[in-house]
Amino acid sequence: MERVYNVADVRGMFPSLQNKVQGKPLIYLDNTATSQTPRTVVEDIVSDYYERKANVHRGVHTLSQEATARQEETRRRVRDYINADSVEEIIFTRGTTEGINLVASSYGQRFHEGDEVILTVMEHHANIVPWQLLQSRVGIKLRVVDINDKGELDLEQYESYFNDRTVMASFTHVSNVLGTINPVRDMIATAHRHGVPVLVDGAQASPHLRIDVRYLDCDFYVFSSHKMYGPTGIGILYGKKALLESMPPYQGGGEMIGHVSFEHTTFADLPYKFEAGTPDFVGIAAFSKALDFIESVGLGNIEAHEEELLRYTTEKMRASIPGLRIYGEARHKSAVISFLVDDIHPYDIGMLLDGLGIAVRTGHHCAQPLMERLGIPGTVRASFAAYNTVEEADAFVSGLKRVVEMLR
């Protein structure tokens, strides 16, 4: 049984939420870009630097062994968090972006000219550009799945794209612009019927939804700690063991080797084969405190709380902002609201909201092809996390109303 949700208790765990911006109490609605960080995570990082910093995997001395133990404990926590089979399937990276680059560079070495990779029009640049690099290097072809008016993927088109040249499908679990929660389990099953492996970009799903990689049966799943109340610069690549074993290393260096000589070098076993150099072991250790936070509050509770904020804010915006256009009205949607009002420039809305202490994001949200598809240069985007409140939603909508009246 998950605990009853008390948003005041949750807020109390986040010191940064007490801050003022432009002399106003901060209302932080840019959670899609990054979340705020609970005290426990920050304190864990500070303690490491003050009391116990030592490099991992390198020494017999106590501090080094303890640092290694903390890092490997996080690996076990992540394995359990996403229900992976083994710790060998959990690779620490710098973030979602690096995870996708790793797969495109390493797995992509088996692709040939004319091979096809299926993407969708709602991808973040992180899940477009690494494949384009392969396109220019090898000559692969990208097939891009379109959306309907609600911002849901055209699944018939998706299925129609599979043929005997298809070598990979790579798509986001949740859109960072539209909020659409894609039916990834079904999409993975479709790909597997055609013998094609799937990478899921989980950057926007992992902070909000229960991820079960075995249930999804994805081949790769990537996400970032900083969007999950954890430290920056840490990411996770999950990969099925057999696939990871079959892949060449991504980067060379210390930690990832078995034995090095100038004649011949052998590589370490998983997961270390893909972890060249000193990782951000302080951040990795502290990431387990972020997982503690999520688990103590309950991911199901967070999801329900955010869903309620999404419903409440959307209805209130529609009722009180004439000329409002919301981009993304999928039936399954995460707590992200991208919008425009009349022909007011999104930057103007964002700037004036900032003056009220309200942090929203404006622009193309690293999804320029999606903006092009929607025929707009950008949007304003408000996104919610575990600590946002109904009062903040009220302040956001009334602030927006004021700002829009000024700009008209």
Considering only 57, 70, 79, 124, the residue that binds ligand PLP (CB under 6 A) is 124
Considering only 10, 75, 89, 95, the residue that binds ligand PLP (CB under 6 A) is 95
CB of 187 to ligand PLP, least distance (A): 15
Considering only 37, 170, 172, 313, the residue that binds ligand PLP (CB under 6 A) is 172
96: which residues sit within 8 A by CB, 6+ positions away? 126, 201, 202, 203, 222, 223, 224, 235
Are 40 and 288 contacting, i.e. CB atoms less than 8 angstroms apart?
Answer: no
Alpha carbons 396 and 25: distance in angstroms, whole number: 12
How far the first Cα of the chain sits from its last, in Å, is 50
Per-position x/- string for 12-41, each x denoting binding to ligand PLP as judged by CB under 6 A, each - no binding: ------------------------------
Binding span for ligand PLP by CB under 6 A among 84-92, 124-132, 318-326, 384-392:
124-132
Closest to ligand PLP by CB, 172 or 338:
172
Residue 182 makes contact with ligand PLP by CB under 6 A: no
Q: What distances in angstroms separate CA 242 from CA 101, 196, 231, 238, 246, one per listed residue?
A: 19, 15, 30, 12, 6
Decide if 366 is catalytic: yes
Binding span for ligand PLP by CB under 6 A among 200-208, 262-270, 275-283, 337-345:
200-208
Q: What distances in angstroms separate CA 241 from CA 87, 94, 134, 255, one per listed residue?
A: 9, 20, 23, 19
CB of 216 to ligand PLP, least distance (A): 16
Are 359 and 350 contacting, i.e. CB atoms less than 8 angstroms apart?
Answer: no
The residue from 138, 144, 366, 390 that is catalytic is 366
Considering only 126, 237, 321, 386, the residue that binds ligand PLP (CB under 6 A) is 126
Decide: helix, strand or coil at residue 404: helix
Binding span for ligand PLP by CB under 6 A among 92-100, 295-303, 305-313, 326-334:
92-100
CB of 376 to ligand PLP, least distance (A): 18
Tokens of 407: 């700009």
Alpha carbons 357 and 267: distance in angstroms, whole number: 51
CB of 123 to ligand PLP, least distance (A): 7
Per-position x/- string for 293-332, each x denoting binding to ligand PLP as judged by CB under 6 A, each - no binding: ----------------------------------------
138: which residues sit within 8 A by CB, 6+ positions away? 108, 111, 112, 113, 115
The count of C-alpha atoms lying within 13 angstroms of the C-alpha of 248, restricted to the half-sphere facing its C-beta, is 9
Binding span for ligand PLP by CB under 6 A among 148-156, 199-207, 295-303, 380-388:
199-207
Closest to ligand PLP by CB, 328 or 399:
328
Alpha carbons 145 and 172: distance in angstroms, whole number: 12
**Catalytic residue positions?**
366
Residues found near ligand PLP in the complex (CB under 6 A): 95-97, 124, 126-127, 172, 176, 201, 203-204, 224
